[in-house]
Amino acid sequence: MADSELRLEITALPSLPEVRPGDDLGEFIARAAPDDLADSHVIAVAHKVVSKAEGRVRVLEQVTPADRARSLAADQDKDPRHMQVILDETQEVLRAEGGVMICVTRNGLVCANAGVDASNAEAGEVILLPVDPDESARRLRARIAELRGVRPAVVVTDSFGRPWRTGQTDVAIGAAGLAPIDDWRGRPDALGRTLRGTAIAVADVVAAAADLARTKDSSQPAVLVRGLGRFVAPADGPGAAALRRAREQDLFR
Amino acid sequence: MADSELRLEITALPSLPEVRPGDDLGEFIARAAPDDLADSHVIAVAHKVVSKAEGRVRVLEQVTPADRARSLAADQDKDPRHMQVILDETQEVLRAEGGVMICVTRNGLVCANAGVDASNAEAGEVILLPVDPDESARRLRARIAELRGVRPAVVVTDSFGRPWRTGQTDVAIGAAGLAPIDDWRGRPDALGRTLRGTAIAVADVVAAAADLARTKDSSQPAVLVRGLGRFVAPADGPGAAALRRAREQDLFR
């Protein structure tokens, strides 16, 4: 095949205002996005601001931990109220050892602490994941399109750890308009041989890459990715739900 | 903090010649790299060409499968000789179910089939991982520096599946000159709160992102990443070995 002329460009949008429950995050993003915003672009948004705008925040003072939360909190050296919030978001605890809790969230994500986190939260509060991050992505996409007249794809991101490897990478917990997976299975490789088992988790890779365009102490939750038009479609598509491996196909639960 | 002005640009280098054992891959890359190649750049190279240049290829006709390989091959519906090569590269089989084998390789990577793969191999051959991918990255980096007078970082990549999530992402199996991890633990977030547990697996993210700048049927194994100079250093550093989670810190083995 001829050389591809793909060029990816990844830049953070300017700082957004501090986001509070009820804020119109789509408008914040639409205002911050550059003049050349296009249908072919992807905007990756850290879930923290999505969750804040959606009111997915809990004040620890208002949480009463039950026995299970108290007991797990003691084992895990965590605040029992924080533990209660984690359990409220969890459908199954896969592991709880040495201060690390790996949970299956109510919508099927597998991650530490069911995604409940105090970083970038106000003191005494914790931030939850959006109830339905694909729906959050679809709403943001629609709002940006309404305000800007173009319809870039939207990815909602969170930082997940991984078994077997140190460090975290951002993954797509929600997506709208971006093909979550680029499936090459059955297609030929460069030598004309059929590729097996090659399906790139595009939305996760976009989420991860976007995080390199900002620093963790910046207030730049939204990042613009240019050059992935081949994966962007007018329809919102299956979303990041397609990236959750079905339990029966998972060897590590 | 002020807005960052980070801009990532990711482009594949033009096609390289077909790589054969003994070829000077560093020279191929040095020739293909653009005129503005700089110390601050990162070059991500698919391990397939690294392995080929290093002669890490086995001809299945020359492999005699032992009993364990025959038995596993029957269970897994694989060629017994291919299975023997996988076992030769494996220190431990973590799972072998339904045609999927998750192995710990001799140098401690956890991946399907110990990284042994027939895609992009000649018919009747399989490609192995480099014996020491960090050393491969260091050699490539030194050779490129020798020929071009600048010293970009080098990452050697492979596509890995993940528990819990569908699809694959490229990860860094080798690295030279790139900080493998950006550790924010103990540093303040945007609200001045101390960040916990945030350490970005930079080298893995670079590997993953590089794969978006080419198609799987292209012959473009090398990808140039601009804009990550803050993670590039003259010293080769700890390499991708730092991304392998120690067995005793791993809840999923």
Query: What ipTM score was computed for the predicted complex, to two decimals?
Result: 0.94
Q: Specify the 3-state DSSP secondary structure of B6.
A: coil
Per the document, the length of chain B is 253
Contact (CB<8Å) B95/A217: no
Contact (CB<8Å) A213/B166: no
| A248 and chain B in contact, CB less than 8 A | no
- pLDDT at B204 > cutoff 60: yes
Chain A interface test: which of B92, B95, B162 (most A C-beta within 10 Å)? B162
pLDDT at site B197 = 62
Q: Which of B169, B215, B253 sits opposite A205 (nearest CB)?
A: B169
DSSP, res A81: H
Q: Which of B205, B220, B227 sits opposite A208 (nearest CB)?
A: B205
Q: Enter the CATH code of domain A57-128.
A: 3.90.1660.10
**Residue type, position B7, single letter:** R
**Which residues, numbered 79 to 138 in chain A, qualify as contacts with chain B under a Cβ-Cβ cut-off of 8 Å?**
95, 97, 100, 102, 110, 112, 118-123
pLDDT at site B191 = 67
pLDDT at site B123 = 87
Residue ranges matching CATH 3.30.1330.100 in chain B:
9-55+130-246
Provide the angle, in degrees to the nearest 10, between the axes of the packed helices A80-88 and A67-76. Answer: 120
Mean pLDDT, range B164-170, rounded to an integer: 96
CATH 2.30.40.10 assigned to domain A1-55+130-245? The reply is: no
Alpha-helix runs per DSSP H in chain B: 25-32, 47-53, 67-76, 80-88, 133-148, 202-210
Mean pLDDT, range B151-163, rounded to an integer: 97
**Which residues, numbered 145 to 174 in chain B, qualify as contacts with chain A under a Cβ-Cβ cut-off of 8 Å?**
159, 161-171
Q: Distance from B198 to chain A by nearest Cα, in Å?
A: 7
Contact list in A for residue B222 (CB cut-off 8 A) is none
Which residues are CB-contacts of A27 (< 8 A; sequence separation ≥ 6)? Answer: A143, A147
Contact (CB<8Å) B190/A218: yes
CA angle, B169 as apex, B100 and A29 as ends, to 5°?
Answer: 140
Report whether A97 contacts A91 (CB < 8 A): no
Give chain B's largest Cα–Cα span.
63
pLDDT at site A1 = 44
Contact (CB<8Å) A163/B245: yes
- pLDDT at B4 > cutoff 80: no
Q: Which of A167, A214, A217 sits opposite B204 (nearest CB)?
A: A167
| B12 and chain A in contact, CB less than 8 A | yes
Provide the angle, in degrees to the nearest 10, between the axes of the packed helices A133-148 and A25-32. Answer: 50
Which of B136, B199, B174, B6 has the alpha carbon at shortest distance from A9? B6
| B212 and chain A in contact, CB less than 8 A | yes
Mean pLDDT, range B200-222, rounded to an integer: 91
Contact list in B for residue A122 (CB cut-off 8 A) is 191
How far is the C-alpha of B41 from the C-alpha of B176, rounded, in Å?
12
Element (H, E) at A241: none
Per-residue pLDDT of chain A (253 residues; tens, 9 = 90+): 445 578 999 999 999 999 999 999 999 999 999 999 999 999 999 999 999 999 999 999 999 999 999 999 998 888 999 999 999 999 999 999 888 899 999 999 999 999 999 887 888 999 999 999 999 999 999 999 999 999 999 999 999 999 999 999 999 999 999 999 998 777 777 766 666 668 999 999 999 999 999 877 678 999 999 999 999 999 999 999 999 999 888 888 8
Contact list in A for residue B170 (CB cut-off 8 A) is 205
How far is the C-alpha of A225 from the C-alpha of A227, rounded, in Å?
7
Q: Which of B102, B112, B212 sits opposite A205 (nearest CB)?
A: B212
Mean pLDDT, range B30-56, rounded to an integer: 97
Half-sphere exposure of A194 (CA within 13 A, CB side): 4
Chain B interface test: which of A212, A225, A248 (most B C-beta within 10 Å)? A212
Q: Name residue A200's beta-bridge partners.
A: A182, B168
Q: Is the dihedral of CA A91, A92, A96, A100 positive or negative?
A: negative
Mean pLDDT, range B194-206, rounded to an integer: 85
pLDDT at site B215 = 78
The fold adopted by the segment(s) B57-126 is CofE-like fold (3.90.1660)
Mean pLDDT, range B172-180, rounded to an integer: 98
Tokens of A112: 């530490």
- pLDDT at B1 > cutoff 50: no
Contact list in B for residue A171 (CB cut-off 8 A) is 165
Percent of chain B whose pLDDT exceeds 70: 94
Residue ranges matching CATH 3.90.1660.10 in chain B:
57-126
| CA distance readout (Å), B63 to A134, B66, B86, B92, B126 | 49, 9, 11, 20, 11
Report whether B195 contacts B185 (CB < 8 A): yes
Contact (CB<8Å) B205/A200: no
How far is the C-alpha of B194 from the C-alpha of B201, rounded, in Å?
19
Q: Which residue of A has its CA nearest to B172?
A: A165
Contact (CB<8Å) B164/A252: yes
Class of domain B9-55+130-246: alpha beta
| A214 and chain B in contact, CB less than 8 A | yes
| A247 and chain B in contact, CB less than 8 A | no
- pLDDT at B18 > cutoff 50: yes
How far is the C-alpha of A238 from the C-alpha of A191, rounded, in Å?
32
| A253 and chain B in contact, CB less than 8 A | yes
Residue ranges matching CATH 3.30.1330.100 in chain A:
1-55+130-245
